[in-house]
Structure 1
Amino acid sequence: MPREDDPESADLAREREVEWQQIIDNFGDRAVLEPDEEQPFAVVQPRFERDPEEIEIEVRDQVHPSDAFVPPTPPPLPRPPADRLMAWIGVFGVPAVVLVCVVAGISVPSWVGFLMAAGFVGGFGYLVVKMSDEPRDPWDDGAVL
């Protein structure tokens, strides 16, 4: 805020007020730009020295089929033990069955609902109990080569 006793700050305040008034007076007007008389760049038309039909395609990265890399067949997926398989079926299978029943409008008896809830909770609890208590190796990123 300008001080009243300082003449320089009063002049500065008047200049700012005039500038703001000009901005407000011209608000919404579009600036008209005059076109430059000279173009900043020259327009160049492309010229083909050879006929496009005569251009030969040169392929440098051809690999002979006998030199191509063929990855080895991956090992079969490991099978979980039966107890863990049942736990995973309880964790993922029960919600899938419940979803299908809800979407299809199938009503199940209450005792079946209790069994499904027990299967889900029991499977989840079993997997939590069987988790390893040892901390993971901090340098192990999980990749196996």
Structure 2
Amino acid sequence: MSPSREDDEFERIVAGLELSVPDEDDEPAPARAEPDVFEPRWSDPLEESDADPDDVFVPPEPPPVSVGDRVSRIAWTVLVGGPALLLVLALAGVRLSGPVLAVIALGIVAAFVTLMARRSGTDRGSDPDNGAVV
């Protein structure tokens, strides 16, 4: 659109505006709805009268949480507890000897290797995607 046509269009729109400020004594004019103006109707889905009160979703009980086997629990405890123990001891200012640090570090590495070796070997098939396996 050329600038002169845009100016003409703007002037036409501005000419159709009513810019009168109402006095405080005047009552507000009732709003008139034009037939081509979209006016959305808001409704609350929770207040639908045609909803069946007996048709309510009740989720099934979740299965019990498995505690895992003893080796996995010990490996997780060492894997998380080893660095936590080192952090607490470092913050407390306790100096550990070389063999104690070596035992803690070897325990952390052994726990990690144990957990990686005991992973469930899920078959990914021929899917080249390394995404989540459901």
Q: TM-score range by the shorter chain?
A: 0.5 to 0.7
- TM-score, with normalisation over the residues of structure 2? 0.52
User: What's the CA shift for 1:123?
Assistant: 0.5
Alpha-carbon spacing, 1:138–1:40, altered in 2? closer, same or farther (3 Å): farther
- 1:38 has 2:38 as partner: no
User: What's the CA shift for 1:87?
Assistant: 1.3
**Higher CA-based Rg:** 1
Count, aligned residues: 101
Counterpart of 1:136, as a letter, is R
Residue in 1 that maps onto 2:133: 142
Q: 2:105 aligns with which of 108, 114, 117?
A: 117
Structure 1: segments with no counterpart, 5+ residues = 1-34, 50-56
Greater RCO, 1 or 2 (C-alpha within 8 Å, sep 6+): 2
Structure 2: segments with no counterpart, 5+ residues = 1-6, 20-28, 33-42
> For each residue in 1:31-87, what CA deviation from the matched residue of structure 2 results, as whole angstroms up to 9, or x when unmatched?
xxxx877153544799446xxxxxxx7843664543210101101122221111111
* Aligned-residue RMSD, C-alpha: 3.7
User: What's the CA shift for 1:138?
Assistant: 4.9
Alpha-carbon spacing, 1:123–1:67, altered in 2? closer, same or farther (3 Å): same
In the aligned structure 2, how far is the partner of 1:96 from the partner of 1:82? 21
Question: How does 1:15-26 map onto structure 2 within 5 Å?
Answer: none
In the aligned structure 2, how far is the partner of 1:115 from the partner of 1:63? 65
In the aligned structure 2, how far is the partner of 1:101 from the partner of 1:108? 8
Greater shift in the superposed pair: 116-125 or 57-66: 57-66
